[in-house]
Amino acid sequence: MKRKEKLLLVLLLAGMLIAFTACGDKGSGDPTSLGGGDSNSITSAAVSVTGPAKGAVPSTTVSGSGHFTTSAVSWSPTHNPFQETTVYTAEVTLTANESYTFTSGFAATINGKTAGISGNTGEEVTLSYTFAPTGAGSEIGIDMIQIPKAGVPGPPYTFMMGQTGVAEPVHSVTLSAFTISAHPVTQEQYEAVMGYNPSYFQGGGNLPDGTEVQGRRPVEQVSWYDAIVFCNKLSMLEGLTPAYSISGSTNPAVWGYVPTSWDPTSPWNDVTIVVGSTGYRLPTEAQWEYACRAGSTELWYTGNTEDAALQAAAWYSVNSGSKTHEVGKKVANAWGLYDMAGNVWEWCWDWYGSSYYSDLSAGGPDPLGALSGTGRVLRGGGWDFAAEYCRSASRYGSISPYDRFIYLGFRVVRP
C-alpha cells in the first residue's frame, strides 16, 4: 500500500493562488537523495507558494515532482480581517511511490524558509509555516493611504490650519508627505496586536447595528499611552523601526506598566520620536487636520452647513444611536479617508497648548505641537458629540493621556 505524507500549511495571506512544488534534494539536483546508501530515501522537499492575489479564490491545484503524487489543496479559512487578509489552513497529501520512504532527518523549506516538522514516522510527516500577509496594507490589515493625494503640488505641502471662530489664529503649515490609515484602528486589529479588546461596545447590550461586523467597529477605551504601545508593537511585528522611545528603549515590554493616573514625572511623558524611524505612530495634529480637510477649507470637509452631506459622512449625536459603528460605512473624504468626522475621537501625538497656534514653530516644517502639557490633542468628534465637534479645525485637549473613555480611539500614520 502506498504511504502518505501530509503537509499542513497555515497561510496568513490575502486570497491567493497557490502552487506547490516538492522534491527530494541532493547536490546533483536529483529529487531523491541517496542518504545512508538507501537509494529510496527522500531526505528533503522544497515547497513553493506563488501569489498572493488580493481577492482571488485560492486554487485547489497542486503541482510537484519527485517520487510521489499530490492531492488537491484542502482549504479552511478561519478569519477575515478588514479589507486585507484572510487566514487559511491548507492541507495537501503527498503519496509516496512504492519502495520510497522519508528519512528521520527529513527537512523541508517553504519559499526558501525552514518549515516546522512534526509527526515524522517515516510514513507520515507534517510540515508547517506561517506566512505574513502581503499587499498594500499592514500585517493586520490596516489600509494605508498616501497623503496628499496624487496631483497635489509639492513637496513641500502647505495648507492653512485652523478656522476663524473655531481654532485661531489661522496659520500656514508646511508638511512632508506621509501615509495614514484609511479608518480608525478597529477592535479586531487592536486585539491582533495587543492580545485583548478593551472596547465597551462589544457583546451584551452593545451589539452592532444590523449587518455591521463587531470586529470592524473602532476600538475605544484606549488611552494615549495604550496607543503608542500599539504603534511600537505593530512596527516590531512588521520588521519596521519602532517610532517611539522611552528611557532609551523602543521595546514596550521594558517600559513597565502603562500609567493609569497622571504623574508629571513619569518617563512615559518624556517619550521621543526616533529620528529616521519607519514604524507606525500617531498623527501630529497638523497631519490629522491636513488629511481630514483633503483640500477643503470649509467648517466640515463636507461643507459649511450641518446637512445631509455631513450625516452621510459622520456618525455623531444625531444619527449614531448612541453607539459606535463599523468603520468605512459612511462616505469618505476627497482623499479616501473614512470616519475623520465622528464615530470616535482620535488621539494625536501633540501635547495640547491653547496658545500654541500663535507660536512661530506651529508653521513647521512638520510641527510636533507644544513642548509640554497635561493633555494630548484629540480630533474628529465622536458618536455622542454634536456636529460642532466634528469640524475639521475643532480640537480638544482636556483629556489626560492615561484616560480610557468609551469615545476615545485613534488611527496611525507612517512616514
CATH number at residue 340: 3.90.1580.10
b/e code 5-16 from CB counts within 10 Å (16+ = b): bebbbebbbbbb
Query: Does residue 113 surpass a pLDDT of 60?
Result: no
Q: Kindly report which listed range (196-210, 240-254, 311-325) carries the lowest average pLDDT score.
A: 196-210
How big is the CA angle at 225 (ends 213 and 293), to the nearest 5 degrees? 65
Total number of domains in the chain: 2
| Cα 47 from Cα 25, distance rounded (Å) | 12
Q: Is 230 a member of any domain?
A: yes
Residue 322 and residue 288 share a domain: yes
Asked if the model's pLDDT at residue 84 lies above 90, the reply is no
Q: With 50 as the cut, is the pLDDT of residue 406 above it? A: yes
pLDDT band at 66; cut points 50, 70, 90: low
Q: Look at 53-57, 71-75, 260-264 and tell me which has the smallest mean pLDDT.
A: 53-57
Q: Is the pLDDT assigned to residue 226 strictly greater than 50?
A: yes
CA–CA distance, 130 with 10 (Å, rounded to integer)? 5
Compare 78 and 187 and report the one with higher pLDDT: 187
103: confidence class by pLDDT, cuts 50, 70, 90? confident
Assess whether 194 and 162 both reside in one domain.
Answer: yes
Does residue 328 belong to any structural domain of this protein? Answer: yes
The yes-or-no verdict on residue 362 having pLDDT over 80 is yes
Same domain, 88 and 178: no
Provide the percentage of residues in the chain whose pLDDT is more than 70.
73
C-alpha cell at 223: 488611552
What is the pTM for the complete model shown?
A: 0.69
Containing structural domain, residue 102? 4-128
DSSP letter at 224 equals H
Does one domain contain both 81 and 201?
A: no
Q: Quick one: average pLDDT of 197-209?
A: 92
18 belongs to a structural domain:
yes
pLDDT at residue 284 is higher than 50: yes
Whether residues 320 and 404 share a domain: the answer is: yes
Q: For residues 99 and 132, which has the higher predicted lDDT (pLDDT)?
A: 99
DSSP structure class, residue 383: T
Residue of higher predicted confidence among 299 and 80: 299
Same domain, 97 and 200: no
| Whole-number pLDDT of residue 184 | 97
Over 50: is that where the pLDDT of 3 sits?
Answer: no
Task: Tell me: pLDDT of 24 over 70.
Answer: no
- Give a yes or no: residue 137 inside a domain: no
Q: Does the structure show a pLDDT above 90 at 126? A: no
Instruction: Give residue 334's pLDDT.
Output: 95
* pLDDT, tens only, 29-52: 333 333 334 568 888 777 665 434
- Averaged pLDDT, 276-292: 97
Instruction: Supply the mean pLDDT for the chain.
Output: 81
In a domain, 60, yes or no: yes
- 377 CB contacts (<8 Å, ≥6 apart)? 285, 347, 348, 349, 350, 351, 352, 369, 395, 396, 397
- Residue 134 falls inside a structural domain: no
C-alpha cell belonging to residue 293: 480637510
The predicted structure's pLDDT at residue 298: 96
DSSP 404: -
Same domain, 237 and 266: yes
Q: Are residues 14 and 76 in the same domain?
A: yes
Q: What is the pLDDT of residue 87?
A: 43
Whether residues 200 and 282 fall in one domain: yes
* Residue 136 falls inside a structural domain: no
How sure is the predictor about 8, in pLDDT bands with cuts at 50, 70 and 90?
very low
- Measured CA to CA, the distance from residue 52 to residue 327 in angstroms comes to 25
Question: Distances in Å between the alpha carbon of 179 and those of 145, 282, 331, 348, 404?
Answer: 5, 11, 20, 15, 26
pLDDT at site 38 = 58
Domain stops at, among 75, 97, 128: 128
Q: Is residue 58's pLDDT more than 80? A: no
**Would the pLDDT of 166 be above 50?**
yes
Does residue 138 sit within a domain? no
- 384-405 pLDDT, tens digit per residue, is 999 999 999 999 998 999 999 9
Does position 275 have pLDDT exceeding 90, yes or no? yes
Same domain, 30 and 88: yes
